[in-house]
Amino acid sequence: MFYRTAGQFKTTYRDDQALFPIRQDAVLVAVILILAWAVFPFIATEFAFQTLLIPILIYSLAALGLNVLTGYAGQLSLGTAAFMGVGAYACYKMLTIMPWLDPIVAILLSGFFSAGVGVMFGIPSLRIKGFYLAIATLAAQFFLVWLFEKWAWLYNYNASGAIQAPNITSVFSGGTYVSGPLATSFTQYYMVLGITTLLTILTINLTRGTLGRTWKATRDMDFAAELIGINLMRSKLSAFAVSSYIVGVAGALFVFMWRGAAEPNLFDIPLSFTILFIAIIGGLGSILGNYLGAILIVGLPVVLNTVPAALGLPLESAFVEHLNLMIVGGLIIFFLIVEPHGLARLWGLARQKLIVWPFPY
């Protein structure tokens, strides 16, 4: 009834291939964008910015990067956190060497470093597939974290071995601080939101076009893809490059717009797994899924922490943490068995029902 698509005829291929060919979808996306750009930042508390809004966006972006590689191109990767680290350290070094560089530009450039490293570690994918490739990317994970610890040049030889986001202004925020202790969450939120929106649009375009079909063909049946004229090497390595670029930018945002500081072990396996879980629960091979997955994974512990307390049911923080792990673990098993395509598919089914509602079919 509310989602009736009857009467929406397309008369040109341009209309048929529009981003949101169905009017209700376009309206829904517009509402979400208005909420994100004009409502949330004005009603959010500092707590909401720091525990929900900013991390959800950054985790979504990282999961989006992983999804390009794993969901669209079918190459399993366990090295996401390490590639985030490459982005963060590259951004840190660029701002050290070129202090005049605008931090937003530096963040967008830092993705190219992780893209380069990603392509390098993607080369094994030309010979090996599936779990074996996952192990090869795990090597990237261990090697890069080790490098972040041992290569003192990366953290400017400081005693703590950690990198700190400096106080730095940007023209994109109208000259106010965007990173470091002096930056406000409000500004940082807008910076993260801007970059996330931009990269999401670019990724949607890539995945629905020629390159997206190349990736999906590689994922679904690689030998057939090669026999119809797809250069598998270019297909796989371009997926590694695009994926690592997005992941690298997410890593730079992670440190400069949210955490403020980072030690090498922040980029260790648990972070890789968190992002993989977001992609799986959200839905592999979907753009929307990354956001849904991130909202669930980031939001769940916050809900578990605040809701029982608000209901006068004080839970110990250790208990909440364990409960969170149990629920997330259960959800992953649930989704792998019941709905391997994740939350995005659930939304797809709900949408299908809404289109025909109130009739069963």
Contacts with another protein by CB under 8 A lie at 13-14, 17, 202-203, 205-206, 209-211, 213-214, 216-217, 219-221, 223-232, 238, 242, 285
| SS3 assignment for 309-329 | HHCCCCCCHHHHHHHHHHHHH
E-state strands within the chain: 163-164, 168-169, 177-179, 261-262
> What is the closest distance, in whole angstroms, from the C-beta atom of residue 33 to another protein in the complex?
18
Sign of CA dihedral 159, 160, 164, 166: negative
> What is the closest distance, in whole angstroms, from the C-beta atom of residue 284 to another protein in the complex?
10
> What is the closest distance, in whole angstroms, from the C-beta atom of residue 10 to another protein in the complex?
11
The burial class, CB within 10 Å (0-12 / 13-18 / 19+), for 206 is middle
Strand partners, 323: none
**Residue 46 or residue 220: which is nearer to another protein going by CB?**
220
Strand partners, 177: 169
> What is the closest distance, in whole angstroms, from the C-beta atom of residue 249 to another protein in the complex?
14
Distance spanning both ends of the chain, measured CA to CA: 13
**Residue 71 or residue 264: which is nearer to another protein going by CB?**
71
Backbone phi, psi, residue 327, to 5°: -65, -45
Rounded Cα–Cα distance for residues 140 and 123 (Å): 12
**Residue 44 or residue 232: which is nearer to another protein going by CB?**
232
**Residue 42 or residue 361: which is nearer to another protein going by CB?**
361
**Residue 76 or residue 144: which is nearer to another protein going by CB?**
76
**Residue 152 or residue 202: which is nearer to another protein going by CB?**
202
> What is the closest distance, in whole angstroms, from the C-beta atom of residue 107 to another protein in the complex?
18
> What is the closest distance, in whole angstroms, from the C-beta atom of residue 281 to another protein in the complex?
19
CB 286 within 8 A of CB 342: yes
DSSP state string for 138-150: HHHHHHHHHHHHH
* Polymer length of the chain: 361
